[in-house]
Structure 1
């Protein structure tokens, strides 16, 4: 437990960034740590950084990007337009280069808790990184009938430093894509345009991008589909399958990716209940380099109980912000959304 208001995230001896543990607005000690860390990272630009800091009170008011809350159930938009609007919103929040992660995130929280965090992130409208973008993408895509969402997590190494990255994989019919945010555009958004008709092709596209940047991909984790229920007390299954592409033959991990897709077809991602049986028990690990996944008895042994009702009110920040909106004027063919089937 930190006592100084922030915590360092390290890779070996290298500090990657700091996590704000004091909440928002930033405390004086977190603000000071953010600026000094920036100077430590870029000592040749210390004077320029100091000049920017001294002028901070003179900057114009920053526009507040209005989240597309209702885009998921908008019948006037096609599926591709919905995902594009969500991705555009995520990009407009911008990547966080400050060295201080503004939000205290815990991946082990249930979906309801993570979605509370997502609402907080959208309310504050501050720069974000990949995991915050992942949570926003889950929140805003909830309610798109037929769209399966799942995590794709990467662990890579570059110059002896280990990095982690995550995007929200999406599947609609036989098409795959992804939503997310990264310093590199080809490590984030992948449109759902028919280019990736197999999950392995989507993964290979990320692998090639990492190779182009000189990163060695150590591990890829893919989870089970995330149910369309913002109030769910289930936790996300982060690693239904684990791939080590530098130690596994391409044909082998493609076969395992196809296997996890077959398991997804047996799952009801719209179930508005909490399972008494952990979803992690639905996949059984082996000692192979590719974690094999299996599903007992086609999920028929699960028992459920109803969730308790919870408030989904999202209060606005007390900080005065200028409102801007994303483009929502054009119309195309409908995709048949059924908002009554989803708890949002």
Structure 2
């Protein structure tokens, strides 16, 4: 499922599983993870999981289980785009989606790109499960050697049973071909192979995927292209174009809006 709206909750959750399954904690203290942060995570598990106390007790303190440590792909500038993107996506999925209730990396979207790329290095070093926003930051870092590849963020806001959900993936483009990288609870809402012949085709696929997940998609927000210099102090522009789906009355009108976006970013 697409990612829920982020609410930073720094205290131990109240004992209400119905409410708290839509919240998660954020590790704001960095690494190594402090004992107080671990305790908050385990308290969260006990509150939200149906067998929370038993689950926590069965896992805590065990040291005999070997945890896989995936190696990040080394992307060469001369490598083919499809194989490079496939390698990055495979690595993201090896890290796995984070279901723990504790977001391990405190990502602030409007930090300078260089700071976000330093955080991506921490993600590789720590090799912990991640969520959709972290996956986008990591994808930007890993694809930075591919200077011919255009990268831009695609954010979604949807509604399901009266609750708002937000999600983000990294759109990629080269030579008239589009695709995306990312992580989600649903396979259909993250990676899209690098074979879409227009941005419209890519976005229509996401719209169909949201419909299959029984989500009412409300907004799509497209960012401007992200530069490849990992030492840059520029900020990522996350909201270059906002598309309200209620204002899109036909596939033709969606295509017109996205074609204007494509023309605009070519001039940047």
TM-score past 0.5 threshold: yes
Q: Is the 8 A contact 1:95 1:127 kept in 2?
A: yes
What corresponds to 1:63 in structure 2? 68
Q: Which residue of 1 aligns with 2:163?
A: 161
Contact 2:154 2:222 in 1 (8 A): yes
2:51 maps to 1:49: no
Gaps of 5+ in 1: 268-344
1:205 matched to 2:205:
yes
- Within a 5 Å distance, the mapping from 1:311-322 to structure 2 comes to none
- Within a 5 Å distance, the mapping from 1:209-220 to structure 2 comes to 209-220=209-220
**Pairwise CA RMSD:** 1.9
The alignment partner of 2:248 has SS state of coil
Q: How many residues get paired?
A: 253
| Cross-structure match for 1:261 | 262
Q: Deviations over 1:1-32 (max 9, x none)?
A: xxx95698xxxx65421111122232222212
Q: Secondary structure at the match of 2:24?
A: strand
Does structure 1 residue 95 correspond to structure 2 residue 97? yes
Larger radius of gyration: 1
Q: Given the alignment of the two structures, is residue 241 of structure 1 paired with residue 241 of structure 2, yes or no?
A: yes
Change (3 A) 1:237 1:50: closer
- Looking at structure 2, the residues matched to 245 and 156 of structure 1 have their Cα atoms a distance apart, in angstroms, of 10
Does the residue aligned with 2:193 lie in a helix, a strand or coil? coil
Q: Is the 8 A contact 2:95 2:128 kept in 1?
A: yes
Q: If the length of structure 2 is used for normalisation, what is the TM-score?
A: 0.88
Separation (CA, whole Å) in 2 of partners of 1:6 and 1:130: 23
2:16 aligns to what? none
Q: Output the CA distance in 1 between the equivalents of 2:120 and 2:257.
A: 32
Residue deviations 1:29-52 (CA, integer Å, cap 9, x gap): 221221222222223x23541342
Matches of 1:264 and 1:247, distance apart in 2: 22
Measure how far apart 1:258 and its partner are.
Answer: 0.4
Query: Deviation string for 1:193-224 (max 9, x for gaps)?
Result: 2xx21111111111111111111112110011
